[in-house]
A and B are shown apart, each in its own frame.
Chain A
Amino acid sequence: MNDIDPVSLTIFLFFFLLVTVLGFLAARWRKAETLDNLDEWGLGGRSFGTFIAWFLIGGDIYTAYTFIAVPALLYAGNATGFFAVPYTIILYPIIFVFLPRLWSVSHRRSYVTPADFVQGRFDSRGLSLAIAFTGILATLPYIALQLVGIQAVLDVMGLGGGEDAGWFRKDVPLFVAFALLAAYTYSSGLRAPALIAFVKDTLIYLVIIVAVIYLPTQLGGWSGIFDSAGKAFDSFNKDSADAIAAGEARPKGLIPGLGVSQWAYATLSLGSALALFMYPHSVTAVLSTKNRNIIRRNAALLPAYSFLLGLLALLGIAAVAAGIQVKNPQLAIPQLFEQEFSPWFAGVAFAAIVIGAFVPAAIMSIAAANLWTRNIYKAFLKPDATDAQEAQQSKYASLLVKFGALLFVLALPKDFAINLQLLGGIWILQTLPAIVIGLYTRWFHRYALIAGWAVGMVWGTIAAYNTEVVGDPGSHFGGSVAPLEVFGIHLSDNLIYFGLTALTLNLIVAAAGTFICRALDIDAGTDDTHPTDYLADAGDPDVVDRLDPLSTPPVD
């Protein structure tokens, strides 16, 4: 459908190759003696200060999610789409409260992953395995979202061959880009994404600033944009009144209506914020910082990114005002850039989005791979693995994780990629009782936590599976919110994010289970941690400056 524009393509390729070269060179940047151990490869040597950590965390959060998935919702007239803004507003105060404690206990006890912490705290290999498994599983759809974003850009650039192209022609650019990503992540570890983050954030800031200043002037200013988008949605609602009444289409709007969809807005914000910092890649980034107060300072500085996220989300509405007509709402923003920017700047913008999807994809796959190696491979499969074997396992695992993500892209409906991330959120939220509450209290019994986790995982997955895509009866994984209904009992019409409902069930089961385990006098295991561990800072006695994941894992 789109012709290839030679100028856009050249500029895009220039930046893409620049990043690829940087990725390979990253192995030499701040070079340590060897990359052949997991610490160097997976945690980038951990010598990151505020500045780089800020970029790294930003790289995790502002991604294809921001550029493609959220604006796609607003473009499609789904008013809950703007929930991403309150999500990132409340995220930082939450990080401020919880993560310094995780930093301290990890550096005191040499924990490298959340599963390490849970093992040490609750003395349960089963629970630790559940946490590791959930972390890896939840990361897959999140990486898949990045792939959908890359695919959208390549499609608009004309590389996908258009609607009539065969599957091979359509997917080749995606596979090539993906292979390159895998290759340099494989050779450079976390330092590849860290170094690329500089290029990426420079490009992204440039594109966003141009987009939010220049685009509105082309479209009659923000007031003109809201005006014409509002009219476009109204006329859609009028024209499709029959389909809406029949449940085959969703009414469009700018602002969530009173009642049910405002609950969706609030629960999606809260659920996403609680989920984000438990992902393995967030924990990796947090543990790479030098001391616990860098985390707090970042929490105060990072909302600057939320402002940009909000402005980007509004570009979805700008695309409506600009008269962009695409069947796949994910294409709205790339299409808007191609229509409104000169070809060379469109190339810059495309590069920004694609690289912006690469960085988090790399970080996520490395973090998931570390989890595999440390908490599954070494803990269960090969306890006597050598350093080199471990590093090799991580590299293989990071490749496998990327291919797992590809499967999610191919198997799940792609009309709203944000559902991929929200599905991951449902799963990762089930680790909250063990990880977050575990940072404060050991009240929950280890076996009760496993039971709660299992109930939350199963319920959440079934609920998401049973949700149909609007206008496509019989389809699955079509959404992440529904009227509150638990085990066939209808509790409320308000739309609630599955992740929060599942978490509530999880907590109820865990609490009930704890009473039962206590009544039966079942051994609760021993706690490896000490209350002072949770307040320790760099420079304190026994605080490990640079954790060594190859040391004996904290089992017994």
Chain B
Amino acid sequence: MPEHTPPGKGPLIGAGVALAIAIVVPLLVWTYAKPDPELWGIPFFFWYQFLLVIASVVLTSIAYKLVIDHERKRRLAEGRTNGEER
């Protein structure tokens, strides 16, 4: 199938960056282990981490989209040869 060119590495790098942010930011404990500013009387430490949960869903979903697209294009580009050379 000559009309399908193999996809570039761009989307994979993008997905990697999104996932890396989702992994590293929650580990930077000193950035959020503090009581203020409070939100509705809830210390910053707690509400910020709930925010991180939502951010993680968004980042992981973005990575999912990027990787799925990339994988589909790669499979099309590889055509029938995919998986046969062993």
Interface residues in chain A, defined as those with a beta carbon under 8 Å from any beta carbon in chain B: 82, 85-86, 89-90, 92-94, 96-97, 221-224, 226-227, 254-258, 262-263, 265-266, 269-270, 293, 296-297, 299-301, 303-304, 306-307, 310, 314, 530, 532, 536-537, 540-543
Contact A299 B85 (CB under 8 A): no
B residues within 8 A CB of A307?
Answer: 50, 53-54
**A94–B45 CA distance with the chains assembled, in angstroms:** 23
A-B contact count (CB 8 A): 126
A residues within 8 A CB of B13?
Answer: none
B residues within 8 A CB of A258?
Answer: 30, 33
**A532–B19 CA distance with the chains assembled, in angstroms:** 23
A residues within 8 A CB of B20?
Answer: 93
**A307–B67 CA distance with the chains assembled, in angstroms:** 25
B residues within 8 A CB of A90?
Answer: 22-23, 26-27, 56
Known: A226-B41, A226-B43. 12 other contacts (CB 8 A): A86-B49, A89-B49, A93-B56, A222-B40, A255-B45, A262-B33, A300-B64, A304-B57, A306-B56, A310-B53, A532-B85, A541-B83
Given contacts A90-B27, A92-B60, A300-B60, contact A310 B50 (CB under 8 A): yes
B residues within 8 A CB of A221?
Answer: 40-41
**A304–B28 CA distance with the chains assembled, in angstroms:** 22
Q: Of the candidates B28, B41, B53, B82, which one forms a contact with A306 in the assembled complex, judged by CB atoms under 8 Å apart?
A: B53
The smallest C-beta distance from A330 to any residue of chain B, in angstroms, reads 22
Contact A300 B57 (CB under 8 A): yes
B residues within 8 A CB of A543?
Answer: 83
Contact A86 B33 (CB under 8 A): no
B residues within 8 A CB of A266?
Answer: 27-29
The smallest C-beta distance from A295 to any residue of chain B, in angstroms, reads 10
The smallest C-beta distance from A259 to any residue of chain B, in angstroms, reads 9
Given contacts A299-B64, A306-B53, contact A96 B19 (CB under 8 A): yes
Given contacts A96-B63, A307-B50, A541-B84, contact A89 B56 (CB under 8 A): yes
User: 11 A-B Cβ contacts within 8 A?
Assistant: A82-B46, A90-B22, A90-B56, A92-B22, A93-B60, A221-B40, A222-B42, A255-B33, A270-B27, A299-B60, A307-B54
Contact A89 B29 (CB under 8 A): no
Interface residues in chain B, defined as those with a beta carbon under 8 Å from any beta carbon in chain A: 19-20, 22-23, 26-30, 33-35, 38, 40-43, 45-46, 49-50, 52-54, 56-57, 59-61, 63-64, 67-68, 71, 75, 82-86
Which of B23, B30, B54 counts the most A-chain CB atoms under 10 A from its CB?
A: B23
B residues within 8 A CB of A314?
Answer: 46
A residues within 8 A CB of B30?
Answer: 258, 262
Contact A86 B41 (CB under 8 A): no
Residue of A nearest to B62 (CB): A300
The smallest C-beta distance from A230 to any residue of chain B, in angstroms, reads 8
B residues within 8 A CB of A93?
Answer: 19-20, 22-23, 56, 59-60, 63
Contact A226 B64 (CB under 8 A): no
The smallest C-beta distance from A260 to any residue of chain B, in angstroms, reads 11
**A80–B15 CA distance with the chains assembled, in angstroms:** 31
The smallest C-beta distance from B10 to any residue of chain A, in angstroms, reads 18
Contact B23 A94 (CB under 8 A): yes
Contact A296 B33 (CB under 8 A): no
Contact B33 A256 (CB under 8 A): yes
Which of A96, A262, A314, A541 counts the most B-chain CB atoms under 10 A from its CB?
A: A96
Residue of B nearest to A92 (CB): B60
